[in-house]
Structure 1
Amino acid sequence: MPDVRAQQVHFLKAACSSCSVMELCLPIGMTGQEVERLDTLIVQRFKVKKGATLYRAGDPLRSLYAVRIGSFKTSVLSVDGREQVTGFQIPGEMLGLDAISTDLHACNAIALEDSEVCPIHFAHLEELAHELPSLQHNLNKILSREIVRDHDMLMMLGNMNSDERLAAFLLNLSQRLNIRGYSSTDFVLKMRREEIGSYLGLRLETICRGIAHLRDQALVEVSGRDVKILNLEGLKQLIAGCHRPPVC
């Protein structure tokens, strides 16, 4: 269960059939009757305050969490106590997949802003997936997508310089937001520069220099957390020689 001592939780009734990100989540491609059966697994969704922990490393697996509103970061602590960011999740994406292999969460999940999630009891989800091939198919696709993301991240860290990593990060976020109906060129970063640096394996000063370099090339304009992509094709060309764009 989420750490209720670290957050204020507001429970709400849930229904996949009326959710704005249904077409990006587990119900994608399912019939109305199948979605209704999935609805029965989500008794109530709940809000997670900015900075609150949804689950911690070492917590037992009870549920997967579909992000309905807001955004999260996942992270682990290094041996010296430093935070290593492992990912950022936005509406329509799933949290908790890290615990499926061991039944224990391998990372912390923390809200980057006031957010809302739909908990899906994992044991019940497995039972229903046995009965609904479409649900099992969607779950497999989500797991596969996570594996591909991990591969892309390793390729990025191994093959790209700092400016290319930053360009790939902004391009990936742009694509993911665009799929959700938001602008692909004007958006707000919910994470801090330090968190982006941790995710990309770069120091804070390197992130700041990278932003300046992209600005000097008339590719992006960044003011605080507000991002304006001036040349999407230019960003793609910057990373085209070393790596394909990260998956959404």
Structure 2
Amino acid sequence: MKCLKPPPYQAHQLKTACSSCSVVELCLPIGLTGSEVERLDTLIAQRFKVKKGAALYRAGDPLRSLYAVRIGSFKTSVLSVDGREQVTGFQMPGEMLGLDAISTDLHACNAIALEDSEVCPIHFAHLEKLAGELPSLQHNLNKILSREIVRDHDMLMVLGNMNSDERLAAFLLNLSQRLSMRGFSPRNFVLKMRREEIGSYLGLRLETICRGIAHLRDQGLAEINGREVRIQNLDGLKQLVVGCHRPLQ
């Protein structure tokens, strides 16, 4: 019998446990008791690595698992009718991937690793069953789904109400807040995505992104060299988006 070559993300498989994970306070187990976390642990047989540029899943793939990002980062995207990529989100440690497939049992987007990453797969059918037995787990799952809806609403508000500089400022504030929650500097960080991908996400052309970066620098708000970000005036960046809704969640 011919052996099939495993996909890139299955090349390295490692054991894991939610209770010992560094991002447990940002992920599905938040607020669960020790015994409840142990039961959730049983659904995660192993975590696996996803190489930079490899797909965790693609649009049209069947739903098998939800994926908690443990290390690294991802982008989600869809293809437009004319074949262009539309970036729909960026995910970092402690966040979930795969929620797009719950309604139809098929993934609606592609999930691509922006760097060498690692995820914890949680078999969805087993997760549903356990959530039915643990109200606290069901509550956490509902919160994650609600958060996705809020993000969609925020994105619509950004695209509808903000100019290009305000969109870029809101994007940087979003990254700053999310990184701060994970114990990293809110003022100095490295972008994992390309400027073209940021433009796709924010509905802006590459040249508009470049102009926006120059404007933020000229105003003394933020300096971006290559992929290195240094926020010089965090309060000033916040003021730029005041009155245009809160920064992206």
- Indicate the TM-score class for this superposition, using the shorter chain for normalisation: over 0.9
Match of 2:216 in 1: 214
Matched, 1:92 2:94: yes
- Deviation string, structure 1 residues 49-83 (Cα, Å, up to 9, x no partner): 00000000000000000000000000000011000
Distance, in Å, in 2 between the alignment partners of 1:84 and 1:180 is: 27
Matched, 1:134 2:136: yes
Match of 1:67 in 2: 69
Distance, in Å, in 2 between the alignment partners of 1:62 and 1:19 is: 22
Distance, in Å, in 1 between the alignment partners of 2:9 and 2:248 is: 33
SS at match of 1:29: coil
SS at match of 1:47: strand
Give, as a single letter, the amino acid of the residue that structure 2 aligns with 1:104.
Answer: L
Match of 1:157 in 2: 159
Residues 241, 32 of structure 1: alpha-carbon distance in 2 compared, 3 angstrom cutoff: same
Aligned alpha-carbon RMSD (Å): 1.0
Question: Are the equivalent residues in 1 in contact too, given 2:174–2:247 (CA < 8 A)?
Answer: yes
Match of 1:33 in 2: 35
Distance, in Å, in 1 between the alignment partners of 2:162 and 2:6 is: 40
Give, as a single letter, the amino acid of the residue that structure 1 aligns with 2:223.
Answer: E
The percentage of counterpart residues that share the same residue type is 86
Q: Which runs of 4+ in 1 moved over 6 A?
A: none
How far has the Cα of 1:246 moved from its partner? 2.3
Match of 2:115 in 1: 113
SS at match of 1:92: coil
SS at match of 1:42: coil
Question: Are the equivalent residues in 2 in contact too, given 1:75–1:87 (CA < 8 A)?
Answer: yes
Match of 1:54 in 2: 56
How far has the Cα of 1:6 moved from its partner? 4.6
In structure 2, runs of 5+ residues without a counterpart are none
- Deviation string, structure 1 residues 162-220 (Cα, Å, up to 9, x no partner): 00000000000000000000000000000000000000000000000000000000000
TM score, norm. by length of structure 1 = 0.97
Give, as a single letter, the amino acid of the residue that structure 1 aligns with 2:109.
Answer: C
Aligned length: 245
TM score, norm. by length of structure 2 = 0.97
How far has the Cα of 1:245 moved from its partner? 2.2
Question: Are the equivalent residues in 2 in contact too, given 1:155–1:243 (CA < 8 A)?
Answer: yes
Match of 2:22 in 1: 20
SS at match of 2:43: coil
Question: Are the equivalent residues in 2 in contact too, given 1:8–1:49 (CA < 8 A)?
Answer: no
| 1:242 paired residue among 238, 241, 244 | 244
SS at match of 1:119: strand
Give, as a single letter, the amino acid of the residue that structure 1 aligns with 2:233.
Answer: N
Question: Are the equivalent residues in 2 in contact too, given 1:9–1:49 (CA < 8 A)?
Answer: no
Match of 2:182 in 1: 180
Distance, in Å, in 2 between the alignment partners of 1:4 and 1:19 is: 26
Question: Are the equivalent residues in 2 in contact too, given 1:71–1:88 (CA < 8 A)?
Answer: yes
Distance, in Å, in 1 between the alignment partners of 2:11 and 2:194 is: 24
In structure 1, runs of 5+ residues without a counterpart are none
